[in-house]
Amino acid sequence: MTLNRRDFLKVSAGTSGSLVFALALPGCSGIQTGYREEDGAWKPDAWLELTTDNKVYFTLARVEMGQGTYTGLTTLIAEELEVEPAAITPKFAPVASEYRNPLYKLQLTGGSTSIATSWMPLRQAGAEAREMLILAAARVWEVDHSECTAFEGHVRHPNGVDTLPYGKLVSLASSETVRHEVKLKPQSQWRYIGKARGRLDAGAKSTGTAEYGIDIELPGMVYAVVTRPPRYGARVKSFNGSDIQAMPGVLKVLEIERGVAIVAGKYWQARKAQQKLKVEWDNADALGLSTNDVFADYHKAADDDAGVRERDDGDFADAAAGAERVLEASYEQPYLAHATLEPMNATAWYRGDSMEVWAPTQAPDLGRIAAARVSDLSPDDITINTTFLGGGFGRRLTQDYIEEAAAVAYSVKTPVKVIWSREEDTRHDLYRPAMLHRMKASVSGGEVTGWHHQVVGPQILDWYVRNAAPAQYPWSPKFLYDTLGKVGLMAEGIATPKDISAIEGAIDYPYKVANVEVRHTHTDPGVPITWWRSVGYSHNGFAAETFMDELAHETGKDPYEFRRALIAHQPRHREVLDRVVAMSGWKAPAPSGRARGVALFQSFGTYVAQVVEASIENDGIHVHRVWCAVDCGQVVNPEIVRDQIEGGIIFGLTAALHGEITLQDGEVQQSNFHDYPLMRNYELPEIIVDIVDSDETPTGVGEPGVPPVIPALGNALFALTGERQRKLPLKAAASSL
Q: Where does residue 654 rank: exposed (0-12), middle (13-18), buried (19+ CB within 10 A)?
A: buried
Residue 274 one-letter amino acid: Q
* Closest distance of CB 112 from another protein, Å: 15
* Closest distance of CB 422 from ligand FES, Å: 7
Q: In angstroms, what CA-CA distances link 384 with 47, 94, 124, 331, 379? A: 17, 6, 27, 42, 10
Q: By C-beta, is 174 or 644 nearer to another protein?
A: 644
Interface residue with ligand FES, options 3, 13, 341, 565 (CB under 6 A):
341
At 337, which helix (H) or strand (E)? none
Going by C-alpha positions, the residue among 406, 417, 404 that lies closest to residue 220 is 417
Q: State how far the Cα of 469 lies from the Cα of 490, in Å rounded to an integer.
A: 12
Q: By C-beta, is 341 or 684 nearer to ligand FES?
A: 341
* Closest distance of CB 66 from ligand FES, Å: 5
* Closest distance of CB 339 from ligand FES, Å: 10
* Closest distance of CB 331 from another protein, Å: 25
Q: State how far the Cα of 246 lies from the Cα of 242, in Å rounded to an integer.
A: 6
Task: Please choose which of another protein, ligand FES, none residue 388 contacts, taking the beta carbon within 5 to 8 angstroms, the exact cut-off set by kind.
Answer: another protein
Find the Cα–Cα–Cα–Cα dihedral 544, 545, 548, 552, rounded to 10°: -170
Q: By C-beta, is 62 or 373 nearer to ligand FES?
A: 62
Q: By C-beta, is 548 or 640 nearer to ligand FES?
A: 640
* Closest distance of CB 390 from ligand FES, Å: 6
Q: By C-beta, is 394 or 497 nearer to another protein?
A: 394
Task: Please choose which of ligand FES, another protein, none residue 167 contacts, taking the beta carbon within 5 to 8 angstroms, the exact cut-off set by kind.
Answer: none
Q: If phi over 0 gives left and psi between -120 and 50 gives alpha, with beta otherwise, what is residue 594? A: beta
Task: Please choose which of another protein, ligand FES, none residue 266 contacts, taking the beta carbon within 5 to 8 angstroms, the exact cut-off set by kind.
Answer: another protein
Going by C-alpha positions, the residue among 720, 471, 724, 505 that lies closest to residue 603 is 505
3-state secondary structure (DSSP) of residue 392: coil
HEC-encoded secondary structure of 152-192: CCEEECCCCCCEEEHHHHHHHHCCCCCCCCCCCCCHHHCCC
Q: By C-beta, is 597 or 659 nearer to ligand FES?
A: 659
Chain centroid to CA 75: 21
Q: By C-beta, is 296 or 341 nearer to ligand FES?
A: 341
Task: Please choose which of another protein, ligand FES, none residue 116 contacts, taking the beta carbon within 5 to 8 angstroms, the exact cut-off set by kind.
Answer: none
Q: Are 408 and 262 in contact (CB under 8 A)?
A: no
Q: By C-beta, is 80 or 342 nearer to ligand FES?
A: 342
* Closest distance of CB 152 from another protein, Å: 22
Q: By C-beta, is 126 or 647 nearer to another protein?
A: 647
Q: By C-beta, is 391 or 525 nearer to ligand FES?
A: 391
Task: Please choose which of another protein, ligand FES, none residue 687 contacts, taking the beta carbon within 5 to 8 angstroms, the exact cut-off set by kind.
Answer: another protein
Q: By C-beta, is 210 or 514 nearer to ligand FES?
A: 210
Q: State how far the Cα of 351 lies from the Cα of 344, in Å rounded to an integer.
A: 23
- 306 belongs to the binding site for ligand FES (CB under 6 A): no
Task: Please choose which of ligand FES, another protein, none residue 447 contacts, taking the beta carbon within 5 to 8 angstroms, the exact cut-off set by kind.
Answer: none
Under 8 Å CB-to-CB from 207, ≥6 apart: which residues? none
* Closest distance of CB 268 from another protein, Å: 5
Binding interface with another protein (CB under 8 A)? 64-68, 197-199, 201-212, 214-215, 217, 248, 266-269, 339-343, 388-393, 419, 421-422, 639-640, 643-644, 646-651, 672-674, 678-682, 684, 687
Task: Please choose which of ligand FES, another protein, none residue 560 contacts, taking the beta carbon within 5 to 8 angstroms, the exact cut-off set by kind.
Answer: none
Q: Where does residue 307 rank: exposed (0-12), middle (13-18), buried (19+ CB within 10 A)?
A: buried
Angle value at C-alpha 143, between 138 and 144, nearest 5 degrees: 85
Going by C-alpha positions, the residue among 563, 581, 549 that lies closest to residue 718 is 549
Number of residues located near ligand FES, criterion CB under 6 A: 3
Phi, psi of 190, deg, nearest 5: -65, 135
Q: By C-beta, is 391 or 648 nearer to ligand FES?
A: 391
* Closest distance of CB 390 from another protein, Å: 3
Going by C-alpha positions, the residue among 44, 40, 31 that lies closest to residue 175 is 44
Q: Are 168 and 118 in contact (CB under 8 A)?
A: no
Beta bridge partner(s), residue 256:
259
Q: State how far the Cα of 216 lies from the Cα of 361, in Å rounded to an integer.
A: 14
Going by C-alpha positions, the residue among 142, 69, 633 that lies closest to residue 392 is 69
* Closest distance of CB 397 from another protein, Å: 15
Task: Please choose which of another protein, ligand FES, none residue 407 contacts, taking the beta carbon within 5 to 8 angstroms, the exact cut-off set by kind.
Answer: none
x/- map, 354-393, ligand FES, by CB under 6 A: -------------------------------------x--
Q: By C-beta, is 600 or 679 nearer to another protein?
A: 679
* Closest distance of CB 208 from another protein, Å: 2
Going by C-alpha positions, the residue among 443, 335, 343, 475 that lies closest to residue 396 is 343
* Closest distance of CB 424 from another protein, Å: 10
- 202 belongs to the binding site for ligand FES (CB under 6 A): no
Going by C-alpha positions, the residue among 52, 48, 50 that lies closest to residue 61 is 48
* Closest distance of CB 238 from ligand FES, Å: 33
Under 8 Å CB-to-CB from 483, ≥6 apart: which residues? none
Q: Are 264 and 457 in contact (CB under 8 A)?
A: no
Cis upstream peptide for 729 (omega within 30°): yes
Residue 475 one-letter amino acid: W
Going by C-alpha positions, the residue among 360, 440, 357 that lies closest to residue 403 is 357
- What is the Rg, in whole angstroms, of the alpha carbon atoms belonging to the chain? 27
Where b means 16+ CB within 10 Å and e means fewer, 434-453 reads bbbbbbbbbbeeeebbbbbb
Q: By C-beta, is 393 or 473 nearer to another protein?
A: 393
Task: Please choose which of ligand FES, another protein, none residue 214 contacts, taking the beta carbon within 5 to 8 angstroms, the exact cut-off set by kind.
Answer: another protein
Task: Please choose which of another protein, ligand FES, none residue 647 contacts, taking the beta carbon within 5 to 8 angstroms, the exact cut-off set by kind.
Answer: another protein
3-state secondary structure (DSSP) of residue 438: strand
Interface residue with ligand FES, options 66, 334, 360, 707 (CB under 6 A):
66
* Closest distance of CB 277 from another protein, Å: 17
Task: Please choose which of ligand FES, another protein, none residue 650 contacts, taking the beta carbon within 5 to 8 angstroms, the exact cut-off set by kind.
Answer: another protein
* Closest distance of CB 519 from ligand FES, Å: 38
Q: By C-beta, is 197 or 587 nearer to another protein?
A: 197
* Binding stretches for ligand FES (CB under 6 A): 66, 341, 391
